[in-house]
Amino acid sequence: MNVAPLCALALLVMAGPLPAQNDSARKPVRVLTHTFASPGREFVRVRLISSETYRVQVNRAQVRLEVRPVSPGVQPPRVREIFHGEKLSVFLLEPRVSAEYEIRLLGGGDRPAQLTVDRRDGKP
């Protein structure tokens, strides 16, 4: 009789339950949701952390994202457009400095626009 499978099972039982994987480390974390009533004429402020990457989604096509630091002397974050569809624009923000920033939408018309900012786990 081969006892190897029984020994392996006994080791698993003695080791106890496997540690649960941290699902929050893999899921984006919502940082901000805002509806712009008049894109281009208003802004929203958000604190961004330099070691994080943020995904910004806007339910509007033909829109640009302007992100400026509130404090003078702070470098603006790197903004990359990663998707531009018929009804959706998606950007990545990579702040160089942890600070408070103003986000403004440019273009895309005068209709209300929904903006969401999610913190991502790690660099893309």
State the pLDDT at residue 89.
95
Alpha-carbon dihedral sign for residues 105, 107, 112, 117:
negative
Q: Does residue 117 contact residue 32 with C-beta atoms inside 8 Å?
A: yes
Assess whether pLDDT exceeds 60 at residue 17.
Answer: no
Whole-prediction pTM: 0.74
Chain centroid to CA 109:
25
3-state class (DSSP) for residue 40: coil
How much is the average pLDDT of 72-76? 95
3-state class (DSSP) for residue 7: helix
State the pLDDT at residue 25.
53
Alpha carbons 28 and 8: distance in angstroms, whole number: 37
- pLDDT-derived band of residue 41, with 50, 70 and 90 as boundaries? confident
Residue ranges of the alpha helices (H) in the chain?
Answer: 4-15
Report all structural domains of the chain as residue ranges with CATH numbers, in order of start. 28-120 (2.60.120.380)
Look at 14-28, 53-67, 71-85, 93-107 and tell me which has the smallest mean pLDDT: 14-28
State the pLDDT at residue 75.
94
pLDDT top residue among 23 and 99: 99
* Summary mean pLDDT of the chain: 82
